[in-house]
Structure 1
Amino acid sequence: MTQQETPKTKNNDRIKLPFVFDTAKMIAECDILKLEQFEYYSVIPLRSPAHIVDPSLPFPPPADDYADGSWTDWLDTPQLQKSPYLMSVIDYFRKNTEVTLVRLLRLAPDSMIKEHTDPTLALEIEKSVIRLTIPILNNDKVTFYLNDTPVPMQPGECWYLRLSDPHKVTNLGETERINLTLDIVPNAWVRKMIADSQVSIE
């Protein structure tokens, strides 16, 4: 990970955080983990609910609110345990806050994710987690739209996106797109990191 200067953003629906991760190392580990075949959209879990990682553990009791991740314990998956660099990326955040769901998200060539919202994934939502996105593999025909405007995410960068707002993804290229996403608890450290990274453009 290396530090970058504070980026600029028009509003707080997208904030580029001031560091970048090693895409070559992430791609190498993704290649090892790859599914044999995939169509459209697929997921490789790196942190999941404990009872999914270890089926011998009891299913957690029903919760009134699943938004903040406290409804279950979370464990690293076998896929993460054999991916030392991806583990170091996650460790950077979990030494400062709780990390819940972590996944590699893959979008096939010539595919799209239709516009939708994730109602609980926003800093403004009380008792919720937020999602950080780190692009790993991209092409110049991949576009992530948030509130109908593209987010210029580049491989290795780390972004906070307010996903309670409408968003969609198009991959019109000939290669797959892979993102690493981390759901984290927005404690004081996280809020300061995001606030310090935000510079408004009037």
Structure 2
Amino acid sequence: MKLKTSFIQLPLLFDAQRLLAEINALDASCWRDHPQKFPGNFALPLISVEGDPANDGVAGPMRPTPYLEHCPYLMQVLEKIGAVWGRSRLMKLSGHAEVKPHVDLNYYWRERVRVHVPVVTQPAVRFICGDEEVNMKAGECWLFDTWRMHRVINDAAAERIHLVADTVGSERFWNTVDRGRDPFAGSVTENWHPETFSGLASPSPPRLTYESVNFPDVMTPWELREHLLFLLDDTRPHEQLARVRQIASRFITVWQEIWAAHGDAPHAWPIYREKLDAFEQQIHRFAGELKFNSNMSFIEGMNGLIFIGALGDRRQPTATQGMRRAS
């Protein structure tokens, strides 16, 4: 999600040692290689499609994996943050490993923020987003702008482990975000202090809310328009930009026409597909040199948000679609 600042620290502080104790109680076999096999990157699935730890997808009902159910304090942490939870994992970065520079262009992350709670970390772990850099300390709670170029560098010999949870948020969540701090705002945050949450002595785990709907079968014309305007407004000036805007504007009217006649009825999907494929061909013809302000390819953003997100007839909902890396 695009944020107003590179980083926001939420006013919450968790017990990293208690989180680590729960993680260490899980078998080492629970950890999996990164889906794209990036060296030194590992994941332990906590919330996934249908609760299947082997499913790295981002389309489908998100449910707890068996691993999450063995982590009661971690569940309390998620409940305290307070949101509708999507795909969530523990992410491990080996010593002297990195998450290479990337922008999250996938439809899934267009409207979701990525919450980080460091569990094991060191001062030598650097999280870089745009032109700014922070060291997220153990137990803190952070958001960052996934639409900016970002990377993580672990210059230490020891590993880094973060709780990484994706969410569209909630009313309570965004109220908490409003009380967060921009670490680069200077004196504005001098008197800012996070709330310490050590956990509750509850015999039953909290009832978390998990997302059940995340990708449309057919994108509505209104959502389509919003995403296209978002992409075009973030595009650097170029001699072809006006032509691409014209093509996009006409495509919106075409999509509106089909929607008015058929809505998202499956019998109309071939009609949508024909028009979407024709639009994609035009974009490839005229927008090949366009770049976003992050220097990422305009076509890659169109692929992640529109060509994959607009119609579900050919969707292969994996974590690798429409994005370069996952931090």
TM superposition score normalised by structure 1: 0.75
Mapped partners of 2:53, 2:159: distance in 1: 27
The residue number in structure 1 matching 2:13 is 20
Local SS of the residue matching 1:197:
coil
Q: Which residue of 2 aligns with 1:46?
A: 46
Counterpart pick for 1:89 among 77, 86, 89 = 77
**Contact 2:51/2:66, CA 8 A, preserved across alignment:** no
Look up the SS of the partner of 1:52 in the other structure.
coil
What residue in structure 1 maps to residue 118 of structure 2?
Answer: 135
Q: Give the alignment partner of residue 114 of structure 1, picking from 84, 93, 100.
A: 100
Cα offsets for 1:24-52 (capped at 9, x unmatched): 10111121225358761100001111063
Using the TM superposition, give the Cα deviation of residue 130 of structure 1 relative to its aligned residue in structure 2, in angstroms: 1.0
The one-letter code matched in structure 2 to 1:113 is: V
* Between structures 1 and 2, the one with greater strand share: 1
Larger relative contact order (CA 8 Å, sep ≥ 6): 1
Deviations 1:76-111 (A, max 9, x none): 111111111111112223xx4311111000000111
Evaluate the alpha carbon distance shift between residue 136 and residue 53 of structure 1 in structure 2; reply closer, same or farther with a 3 A threshold. Answer: closer
Give the gaps of 5 or more residues in structure 2.
34-38, 189-327
Identity of aligned residues (%): 26
Q: Which has the larger radius of gyration?
A: 2
The answer to whether the Cα contact below 8 Å between 1:43 and 1:106 also exists between their aligned partners in 2 is yes
Change (3 A) 1:49 1:181: same
Root-mean-square deviation (Å)? 2.8
Report the count of equivalent residues: 174
Shift of 1:189: 2.8
- Give the whole-Å Cα distance in 2 for the aligned partners of 1:187 and 1:83: 23
2:155 is the counterpart of 1:172: yes
Instruction: Give, in whole Å, the separation in 2 of the partners of 1:150 and 1:182.
Output: 20
Question: Within 1, Cα distance between the matches of 2:98 and 2:76?
Answer: 30
